[in-house]
Amino acid sequence: MAEANQLGCLFVGEGVVLKGNFQVPDIASISGVVEGELTAKQILIEATGVVHGKISGESIDIRGEANESVSSTRSLIIRSTGKVTGSIHYSEIEIEKGGHLHGDLHNINPHS
Amino acid sequence: MSIFSKNSPPDNGDDKIANQQLDDYAESASVSTEEQAATYEPVVRNEMASRPGIAKPSIISEGFTFEGTITSDGVLNIAGTVRGKITAKSVLIDASGQVDGELNSEQLVIKGQLKGEVNCEDLNIGPLAHVDGSISYKYIHIQRGSKVSGKFVKN
């Protein structure tokens, strides 16, 4: 899907270390290391991916590591290999069995 | 009219033969299924026999409110309301269940509402669950749709 149209997408390959703050209009797929804030419409942290810093987006899918706050306005999925440390703000959450969650969990719209 | 009446008897005769053949088929088929059933039945019975007394769960039924401390070595199903401290090997909070307080268990399945401090090994939060509290766990599974907030610590 992403390969077909890469307009507005960020791909960080395995072994790549990226430092800074990133605004991505569409998909951010992280297989390497990102140090800094990351904002994207859709964030995929692959199994080898690590993010040190705040991440925020509509839908976030974590198979790797997120080491600071995570904020998702639509859906957040922590896969079985995923590891999240820090505070989480979500509107819809799913954690697969084996997923690692260490921190505070907040629902953005608790009464919906 | 007469033509029909003349022709009809032999037709009926053919039908009878055909019906008989069908009946024969049906009979042989039913015999074979009965035989199969007969061979399978003992297997099923053995299976039943090899599962002796599964530990009966303790049940807090819907509409029942309990305040205090519950301790159990077995399974606890909560469909009512519990306020207080719960310690059990396995706890299921049903869709209508509510727990307010401290909960310690090895296995915990939450389909209803939970508020308080939780200490468990295997945690499963169902899609309609509301959970709020400080939770320490070993293995976690949160299903989509559940409302969860609080502090999570993995042991």
pLDDT in tens, A48-104: 999 999 999 999 999 999 999 999 999 999 999 999 999 999 999 999 999 999 999
> Across residues B98-103, what is the average pLDDT?
96
| Alpha-carbon torsion angle B25, B26, B30, B31, nearest 10 | -40
CB-based contact A102 B153, cutoff 8 Å: yes
Whether B138 has its CB under 8 Å from any CB of chain A: the answer is no
For residue A78, the distance in angstroms to the closest alpha carbon of chain B comes to 9
pTM for the model stands at 0.75
Q: Which residues of A9-30 are buried (b: 16+ CB within 10 A; e: fewer)?
A: bbbbeeeeebeeebebeebbbb
Residues A86 and A62: their CA atoms lie apart, in Å, by 14
Band of residue B49 on the pLDDT scale cut at 50, 70, 90? very low
CB nearest A102 (choices: B146, B147, B152): B152
Band of residue A33 on the pLDDT scale cut at 50, 70, 90? very high
Lowest mean pLDDT of A1-5, A48-52, B99-103, name the range. A1-5
Band of residue B138 on the pLDDT scale cut at 50, 70, 90? very high
For residue A99, list chain B residues with Cβ-Cβ distance below 8 A.
140-142
Q: How high is the pLDDT of residue B41?
A: 52
Task: Say if residue B124's pLDDT is above 70.
Answer: yes
Whether B16 has its CB under 8 Å from any CB of chain A: the answer is no
Q: How high is the pLDDT of residue B56?
A: 86
> Across residues B121-147, what is the average pLDDT?
95
Secondary structure of residue A80 in the 3-state scheme: coil
- Segments in chain B forming alpha helices (H): 2-49
Name the more confident of B46 and A31: A31
CB-based contact B147 A107, cutoff 8 Å: yes
Lowest mean pLDDT of A57-71, B35-49, B61-75, name the range. B35-49
Band of residue B155 on the pLDDT scale cut at 50, 70, 90? confident
Q: How high is the pLDDT of residue B48?
A: 47
> Across residues B33-47, what is the average pLDDT?
50
Residue B124: phi and psi, rounded to 5, are -130, 120
For residue B36, the distance in angstroms to the closest alpha carbon of chain A comes to 41
> Across residues B20-25, what is the average pLDDT?
52
For residue A110, list chain B residues with Cβ-Cβ distance below 8 A.
147, 149
The distance from CA A94 to its chain's CA centroid, rounded to whole angstroms, is: 13
CB-based contact A93 B146, cutoff 8 Å: yes
pLDDT, averaged across chain B: 79
Band of residue A6 on the pLDDT scale cut at 50, 70, 90? confident
For residue B150, list chain A residues with Cβ-Cβ distance below 8 A.
104-105
Residues B14 and A95: their CA atoms lie apart, in Å, by 69
Top residue of A70, A77, A93, A104 to mutate, by most chain B CBs within 10 Å, is A93
For residue B113, the distance in angstroms to the closest alpha carbon of chain A comes to 14
Q: To 5 degrees, how large is the angle CA B78–CA B79–CA B85?
A: 35
For residue A111, list chain B residues with Cβ-Cβ distance below 8 A.
none
Task: Say if residue A24's pLDDT is above 50.
Answer: yes
